[in-house]
Structure 1
Amino acid sequence: MAIDLVDAVRFVNTNRQRRKRLLECERELDRRAAEDNAALQGARLTLYDEALVPFRDVYQRLQHVELVELTVVERPTVGDTASIEPRQPHKITVPPAVRVLAGGVLVFAVPLVVGHAAKASAYSVVRTFASASTGRAIKTLDGAAARNATEAWLGRGPIGAGGGGRAAGRRLLDKIETASASLTWDIATKWQAQALDDSQQKKARALERREAEVRVRQEEAPARYERGKDMQRVLGDLRSEMVRRLPSFTTLVEACDDFARYDSRQRAEVAAMADLDGLAVRVMDCPITDADGRLTEESRRVVADAEARLRAMEAES
């Protein structure tokens, strides 16, 4: 029966090792997600500071502009997790140490109590209902006489009458105590092992669910990394294109801030900058993952649209 408890304890250690490996994997995935997020937010911040703000400072000086009003955008902050959100690890409830300790104490204490009770119960029954070798009811005797008569009865009578005497009676009582304690130990140990096994089975099932989630995250991690790199590249290209066009645009506005007086070429230049601004805001605001940590289809479309628009502008130049 002891092997059952040993197996249950081994189950505990197995779950503990699984949980340790699982936490290490989760921490590594969260670390990579945090690094990717920081890099992406850094690209957004650079685009905002070096391209969007300078362009809008000049653009707001234009009068009679007929283009769509620019979308309001806030300055990104490195450390925000709106784009790639590390998933919080699920908690596995661990029973308080005092509960485990209490179970262990019961395994040792209960057999002792039960064994002693069985011995006392046998002694009490004989003393209450049996008779001494003289024929007198033992319950009418007191003190040592009652004890001697009870033990002698349990020993199958006095030695002089062919029985085992008081010594044999005391040995029988000790056997009753030992047998009861042994049986109770067996039962208590089995109960403790079963309770521990049931608890660890629940933990094992919870760990299996977490391991499945981590496997999905590990499988999706390369795609999330590549999408993040694509977003960073597009943000960098938008910044470069806006910065490249900004001197000409600034010269245009400084020379004449009345959009109504611009010719078609000049209006096209303003429209191109406003288009780049809107595209930049769209890319900056697009999340890579959703609330469940899955790649968004929107981010794929935004990257593709931005790349196509940049290629078209390059061809038009």
Structure 2
Amino acid sequence: MKATSERDIISTFNQFLARMTNNSTLCLHQSHIKQGQSLQYEISIDKNTSHFFGSCSWLGSKIGVSLISPNGKIITESSAGTKWFVGDKYISVKVTNPVPGKWKANLTGLEIPSGGEPFTFEVNADAPLMVDLIDNEIAPGRYEFAIKEIESSERLSDFVASVHAITPKNDTLNLSNQLNNRSFNFIANAGPGSYRFQVNLMGKDSRSNPVQRFIQKTVLVGDFVPVHIAPVKYIIGNFLKADLGKQIGNRSGVKCVIFSKGGTSGDKLAVGYVTHLSDRECTIELQQFLSPKKIVVGDMIELDLVQWSKDFK
């Protein structure tokens, strides 16, 4: 996990500590706050949680933090059953034997400069259900990810999740619509470097109690031959048409593999070659079928761009 600022360093340490102590990160928010502004975040605390830590870190100035329990009790530095750690650039609170359910965290800008103050707020807990993001490199620069329970008899069910990837160029990609049955695929088209994947999920445990988790995984991608993915637009005999969505070069003869829609490297249907290019559309002649499954519109074509690597942008 790569930290790029002081608040990222604190956040990175907190998440590392959470893993080392078998705690789970329930939520993580990074934003800006202005003088006098109040921000509120909801946290779902699992049943049978013995304690949780709420932490807020910033670069300077001062931010006030308070908590509201599910029964409406306001938790401050003088509240029983809590232990507060207050520094010049952070506030952390440990809540013991918390009431399960929806908690709220209130953040207030107390001494904030005119440009606002960036901050990180996160909550870690010893929740009985531990969830992680498992990565598997199935080809150079191509990965499968799966959301799985680890070291727990509890099971996650009925969850919804948002998934984002931060590329080495610091671009944020929304992968939420690619999540299918707990897993998603990713191609590192931004080239080699550090990719950070973030998953925010809300669901239920095996007893239908609410569960909230934030999962972060960093993957280091080395040098690899770039590829381009495009859907099959229509089929004419032994030829396929695909809309590339971008101009990737001007020569034919590029090798390609056709995958089943939403499939993985094990779902190869056929191989072929590009025979014609017209702006962003290409024609592919099928050379060899690898599966009895019929190719249909919407199946995916993966182009090997080793010949066009200098043109790939």
Give the structure with the larger helix fraction. Answer: 1
Larger RCO, structure (CA 8 Å, separation 6 or more): 1
Greater Rg by CA:
1
Give the structure with the larger strand fraction. Answer: 2
TM superposition score category, shorter chain reference: under 0.3
Please, what TM-score do these two structures have when normalized by structure 2? Answer: 0.17
